Every structure is written in C-alpha cells, then in structure tokens.
Amino acid sequence: MKKTILLTGGLGYIGSHTCVVLEQAGFRTVLLDNLSNSSLSSLDGIERILGYRPVFYDADIRDRGAMASLLKSNDFAGVIHFAGLKAVGESVESPFEYYNNNIQGSFVFFEEMERTGLRNIVFSSSATVYAADNTLPLTEASKLGTTNSYGTSKLTLEFVLRDLVSAKAWNAIALRYFNPIGAHASGYIGERPKGVPNNLLPYILDVAIGKRERVGVYGDDYDTVDGTGVRDYIDVNDLAEAHLAAIQKLLASPTTPLPVFSPSPPAPLLSEEMGAKSSFQAINIGTGQGTSVLEMIENVRLASGKSIPYAILARRPGDLGSVYADPSLARELLGWEVKRSVREAVGSSWKFVHDNR
C-alpha cells in the first residue's frame, strides 16, 4: 500500500514539483493550499504530467477545524510543510502578516498534527536563517541570525520543531534551501509570481518577454567575478528530489536518529521519550556554487535569444556580495546532490514562461 504524504502549500512553486517527484517515486500525495500565492492551474499542470489529479484541499493552515478534519480523515505517514508567505521584501513591510501566517499558522497545524499522533515532518526552511557576517561557504554550523520577518519566521519554526523533538518525540528535517529556479521539463508547471517578481530570474524573464523594460542591477562593485551580486541558484527539480530524499530518510528508519551538526542549541537534539528516539536536523540544499547577476542575465539571453536591457543601480542596504552553500551534509545524510546546471534551469524556466505567457 502506498504511503500518503501531506504537502501543505502543495500547489506552490516548490510544492507542485515535489508532488510530481513523490508521486513518480511511488508515494500518494494529498495537497493542501489556500491559493493565496498559487492557483489551480498548477493542479492542472500536475494532472497533465501524471495523467491523474492528486487529492486537493482548499484550506488555510490557520483554520483549526479544517486542519483537524483533514488530519483525522487521512492516514498520513508524514508531512512536507511548505505553506507560508515567502517574499523577503514584503516581510519587512508586513511583519505581523508574516508572523500570523507563517508562525501562528504553523502553531495551529503542529498542534493538530500532535493530536493525531503525526510526528514526521520535513520543513521548508531557508538560507535566510544565517547571519550576514558568516564566512563562505555557509555550512549548517554557520552562525544563525536574521534580518527580515521572513527569515525570522523560518528560524522560529526551526526552534519550535527542535522543542517538539525534545518534548514530543517528533522526527523533523529542516531543508535550508538557497535560490530555487527552473521549471518542470514538460513546461506544465513552473514559477508563477503574482505582481512584480521578488526574485531575480522571474524579473529577467519578464524583461525577455517584453513585460518589463529593463533589469535593475543593484551594485557592480562587489568583490565578485564581475562586481555584481552572487547567489547559489538550484534547479527546482533537484530541490524537489531533496524533499523526496528527506521524507524517505524519516520514514525508512524513524527510530534511528540523524547525527546532529547544528550548533543551536548545542545539546544533542535527540529524544527517547515514548520509547523511541527522535531527531531534528537542518540540512543545506544548494549547489555550492554562485552565479552573478550579469551571468544570470547572459544565461537568459542565451536561452531566449532576446536582448536583456539592464541598468546598474546603487547597492541596496543589507545586500551581501556573495551567498552560497556547502551542500556536503545533504550528500552525506540524504545521498542527495544536484543533477542539473544553472543553464539547464534557466532553459526550463524560459520554456515555461514562453509556453504559458
């Protein structure tokens, strides 16, 4: 019998790709989404890829009654928790909204998970949990610290999950991923930002299709390959496969704790309450390599055949010159590593945007 995995935020950019990967690996998925930052077109795309439509619930994780009913009426083996607001800039302007959605909503959801005895969870965390003054590459032992409400919400929930491991014998993996890009090779699902894109590649793609005039490049005097900011961009299909590896790890041996590498808090986060060991582990999901803004613009030019106008602007306060991961722990603990290049990811993104504009 297939094991059933609940994906909160399952129709979002990363959730929809993870749904496809899990279904193709032999899992049954149930998708939960309030459609605030997604649409039913993603469900249509998933159906076109798989040949069938996964079960979908239109509900909000803050709705306790709906969460209780959903969790009681299904026999879930585990949860992958994507649901939450995700724009860094927006979070600076609207902290209450982010804390209400991401933190309070997760509190409600976690409480209902506990009431039904569901304690296996893969959490969608972020590289924004790392402090700005770390040396590179970022490892799981790098100093933690946030500069925006989005990052604070992710780090807060990591600490909540650590406490649930200690007190309630949960099993939790937090995947701290860097900059997802790309789309499914079919062109049926991909990133669909609402309004002005918050991330670099979708904005460049908007310029490529003529929707926007030019790309603003914030700073060209960083200590990088060409002076522009460098980030670690990971193909969303590789990222989806990391979630598959993580849920397989949790379900294959839930009584065998993962080694604990994270320094916060320093005590090993292993619990033997209720007769079984449990664990929390944060794991970086990135490529270990950086791509600059100008390199990304060139990748889009090559993929699209379009000229990409850009203008050099002043640095933005708080921006860092380079951010990239050390992904070796993911390889060691999950047997996962990237398979796709940045250029391939840009190509699939262009195909999705071109085919669906």
Q: Give the active site residues.
A: 150
CA distance 233 to 286: 7
Q: 3-class DSSP state for residue 79? A: strand
Which residue intervals of 58-194 are DSSP H helices? 64-72, 88-93, 95-98, 105-115, 149-168
Tell me which amino acid residue 220 is: D
Tell me which amino acid residue 349 is: S
Determine the Cα angle at 204 with ends 202 and 209, to 5°: 90
Task: Classify residue 290 by its DSSP letter.
Answer: -
H or E element in which residue 31 lies? strand 28-33
To the nearest 10°, report the CA torsion of 32, 33, 34, 35.
-150
Q: 3-class DSSP state for residue 81? A: strand
Are 23 and 29 in contact, with CB atoms under 8 Å apart?
yes
Task: Classify residue 84 by its DSSP letter.
Answer: S
| Burial category of 116 from C-beta neighbours within 10 Å (exposed 0-12, middle 13-18, buried 19 and up) | middle
